[in-house]
Structure 1
Amino acid sequence: APGPYAPVRRPAPCPPVADRPRKMAVTRVEALTRDPYAVWARDILKLYPLDRPDEPVEARARGTAIHAAFEVFAETYPQDLPPNGAEIFEGLYIAELVAAGMPPSALARERALAHEAALWVMDLEARRRANAEKIVVEAAGEITFQVDGRPFTLTAKTDRLEPTRDGLAAHILDYKTGAAPSQKQVDTGFSPQLTLTAAILQNGGFPELGPRAPGDLTYVRVTGRRPAGEEQTRAKAGGESEDAARKAFDGLVELIRKYDEPTRPYLSRTAPQFVHDHAGDYGHLARVFEWSTSGDEGDGE
């Protein structure tokens, strides 16, 4: 007779320290915080996920389209807004949805949403441009620093920077079509994208701007529904965003130190409460559904 069922244990790969990343984007730091195994698979083994054949195109298309529409609009009209700005933005958004492969049935519904979204975006642009020196889109920044004598490089690509007219600060914006990270996720370091980008800005990592204090750290969510859009600021200009940037940077240094320990494994799903998809891109590789249902889940630290 077969013996008792023994489910697989949570995987715990432990690569040599020399093979561990010494350069990471702010979005990958978020992955290291929530699901270190995904960093091992993607950034160390170089295993990249394929598109899922049955994945709906709508959600991905919306995100791609709204980013592209904002970028093209800001580059085409860097200063004054055109009188028909909403119409132009709506056209850019729809064109990007078509290019992303959104099916006609879904596109018909999206047109009404795009119209409402474009009206809201023009109101946003008018308000924000009134206080900005200029609009900087898709800016790449990086800083290199030492952790216990070893260099580490942190990179970011921002959706939008808004340097203030006094030359002292810059607001950081990130576009969303889905739910933005909560205040708690940002404050606890599980969503450090904006705060680490602020740290890069603070340390002069964006050559176009030089060292500046971080301004507001804001998610701009655009849906076309009710409300058509909203600004969700997670840290305000001044001491709040500067403190958030320093806290995030200090947290990153400690995280790097932790993964510089030769015996530290890259566990799967160390923060399952903050992983949106139960399996994720590497859940099948980590056999999450097997070991998580057997009770081998938790922080693992």
Structure 2
Amino acid sequence: GELYAGDAGEKLADLLRGLVAASAPLSFAAIEWPDVMEALIAPETVKPAQGTDRNIAIWGALEARLQHVDTLVIGGLNEGVWPRKPESDRFMSRLMKTGIDLEPPERRIGLAAHDFQMAMGARKVLLARSARAGDAPAVPSRWLQRLLTFIGNDQATALRRRGDELLAWARALDTGPKRDFAPRPQPKPPLPVRPGHFSVTEIETLRRDPYAIYARRILGLMPLDPLIRDPGAAERGTLFHAILHLFSSEVADPRAPDALAGLIAAGRACFAEAVLPADVEAVWWPRFEKLAANIIEWERTRADAVVQRHAEERAGKTVIGQSGVTLSGYADRVDLLAGGMADILDYKTGSSPSKAQAHTLLAPQLALEGALLRRGAFKDLGMREPSQLAFIRLKPNGEVFEESILEHNRQPRTAADLAEEAWARLEKLLIHYADPATGYLSRALPFREGETDGDYDHLARVLEWSAGGDAGDEGGEA
């Protein structure tokens, strides 16, 4: 029994069940089985259940009937809860059911009584019920009433006395001294240690979760990677970006007959460099092959208007207005057009940020890249006007499409207009943080309501201060 105890034992039992159920024959000599089992067990990992006590289980009536425990708590012993009231069928009346020999509603009460009787056979049983149901006193279950009547007042009083001790413990939790929740953190470091430079990718974090900027840039705390972790969405996005960068630098004209072969070759080179686990590559490579043909097709639809393509173009440090803070960054793709303007494109393998977030400048990266282009920050491109700001969506099903952020809810804007508004907002935000009284608020504008899996949410004790009601103030200076 000890061999199969706990989470590790359950994992082992599942593995052995899988071997027994395997359709392929497993014929090995007896002397080889220890090595075979070691090889089978080696890649398995045990993940303990989170947020639960291993010694406590919440069961339904059927589960409780089939298992044995040291102490069993039978809750809900109110009439109408256990047993439930017989409910009339909206489709068939009682008479109709009797005519075709269907079970009457009362049979469920009999089954519930059987479950109750089986549960009462545990070594130690706690019988619990609520004294009130809504605004009215609750009626004890018929089984509880019969039990107390049968044993008499003296025995019933002794049972209640033992229960009073447990109730006293529960009430003590509510009557103890009040302790305030941890306050929502808003550290206010001195101005000399505050960041004097940002990349375009950090600005959204500065707006949404300033505390993360404080923890990373001022405290110098970097999140640790998990010890065991397969490549995920972030790594896939980085890999596909690298492939498209290599393709853009090596294939000058996507209209060339060998353009698709060039993209596939770039993919093979980047996949080989990434050294992915075999099972991950087996999924990602066919997905890339589906994308490749559609990428070339998309490239050819815009090739006539494009004079030159620039991938991973770097924008140097540029001072942001009166704030004194500088901004720099990389653009996934800048296409120079025949008329002298330029399109700024951002490859996205996921769904975030959305077009609406980029248009309303909740995710201002593309718009800020447009502002940097207008100021000549891209040294190799000179000072140019942006024509288009768009996401290039690379979908898992192989679909490739261009999604402009310049229009949302029938509100079209020019790239220059959106870029300048993003620049002005950023200048205002940075001047706001130049005030010593301004703190770096935790989760000022969260990505999703109730989400608490940010790199620094644990450090900010988000679960504690949000449980205390402080979460309603989210929005802060954002």
State how far apart, in whole Å, the 2-side matches of 1:156 and 1:212 are: 17
User: Partner amino acid for 1:299?
Assistant: G
| Corresponding letter in the other structure for 2:274 | A
2-structure distance, mates of 1:129, 1:222: 18
Instruction: Judge conservation of contact 1:144–1:151 (CA < 8 Å) in 2.
Output: no
Q: Deviations over 1:92-115 (max 9, x none)?
A: 335434543432223222232112
CA contact (8 A) 2:332 2:345 kept: yes
Tell me if 1:187 matches 2:187.
no
TM-score, length-scaled by structure 2: 0.58
Question: For 2:330 and 2:300, how far apart are their aligned partners in 1?
Answer: 24
2:464 aligned to which of 267, 290, 300: 290
Unaligned regions of 5+ residues in structure 2, if any? 1-171
**How far has the Cα of 1:131 moved from its partner?**
1.1
Post-superposition offset of 1:81: 4.4
In the superposition, the TM-score normalised over structure 1's length comes to 0.90
User: Deviation at 1:157?
Assistant: 0.5
Q: Partners of 1:92 and 1:290 in 2: how far apart?
A: 48
Aligned match for 2:257, one of 80, 83, 96: 83
Aligned to 2:337: 164
Query: Take 2:265 and 2:232, find their aligned partners in 1: how far apart are those partners?
Result: 17
CA distance in 2, matches of 1:189, 1:157: 18
**Contact 1:204-1:211 within 8 A present in 2 as well:** yes
- 2-structure distance, mates of 1:62, 1:258: 36
8 Å contact kept, 2:254–2:299? no
CA gap of 1:21–1:110, structure 2 versus 1, over 3 A, is same
Equivalent residue number for residue 452 of structure 2: 278
**How far apart, CA to CA, are the structure 2 residues paired with 1:70 and 1:276?**
35
Max Rg structure: 2
Partner of 2:417: 243
Q: Tell me the secondary structure at the aligned position of residue 438 of structure 2.
A: coil
Tell me which of the two structures has the higher relative contact order, counting C-alpha pairs closer than 8 angstroms and 6 or more residues apart: 1
Per-residue deviation, 1:37: 0.5
Letter matched to residue 204 of structure 1: G
Asked whether the equivalents of residues 267 and 300 of structure 1 are also in contact (C-alpha less than 8 Å), the reply is yes
**Over residues 8-59 of structure 1, what are the superposed CA-to-partner deviations in whole Å (9 max), with x where a residue is unaligned?**
1111110112221121111111110111001111112222222233444131
State the number of aligned residues.
Answer: 297
Separation (CA, whole Å) in 1 of partners of 2:316 and 2:309: 19
Pick from 378, 389, 404: which aligns with 1:233?
Answer: 404
1:277–1:107 Cα change, 3 Å: farther
**Aligned partners of 2:255 and 2:303 also within 8 Å:** no
| Aligned-partner Cα distance in 2 for 1:275–1:135 | 39
CA separation of 1:276 and 1:166: change in aligned 2, threshold 3 A: farther
Q: Which residue of 2 aligns with 1:213?
A: 385
Q: For 2:350 and 2:450, how far apart are their aligned partners in 1?
A: 12
- 1:221 counterpart SS class: strand
* Paired residue type of 1:77: V
Q: Could you tell me how far 1:275 is from its partner in structure 2? A: 8.1
State how far apart, in whole Å, the 1-side matches of 2:392 and 2:254 are.
21
Asked if 1 retains the 8 angstrom alpha-carbon contact of 2:318 and 2:372, the reply is no
State whether structure 2 residue 371 is matched by structure 1 residue 199. Answer: yes
Distance 1:20 1:64, change over 3 A: same
Structure 2 equivalent of residue 103 of structure 1: 277
Q: Does 1:9 align with 2:180?
A: no
Q: Find 1:262's aligned residue among 422, 432, 436.
A: 436
| Residues 260-296 of structure 1: per-residue CA shift (max 9 Å, x gap) | 1110000111001458963211112112222223321
Equivalent position amino acid for 1:269 in 2: R
Q: Which SS does the other structure have where 2:283 is aligned?
A: helix
Query: Shift in Å at residue 182 of structure 1?
Result: 2.0
Cα displacement string for residues 222-280 of structure 1 (whole angstroms, at most 9, x for unaligned residues): 1340x5222111027x9611110011011011101110111000011100145896321
* Alignment root-mean-square deviation, CA: 2.3
SS in 1 for 2:189: coil
The answer to which of 84-93 and 273-282 deviates more is 273-282
Residues in 1 aligned to 2:317 and 2:228: alpha-carbon distance in whole angstroms: 39
Give the letter aligned to residue 348 of structure 2.
Answer: K
- Give distance in 1, aligned partners of 2:331 and 2:349: 16
Aligned residues with identical type, % of pairs: 34
Match status 1:299 vs 2:446: no
String of CA shifts for 1:148-205, please: whole Å, max 9, x gaps: 4x522111211110011122x1100111111142233123321000000000001111
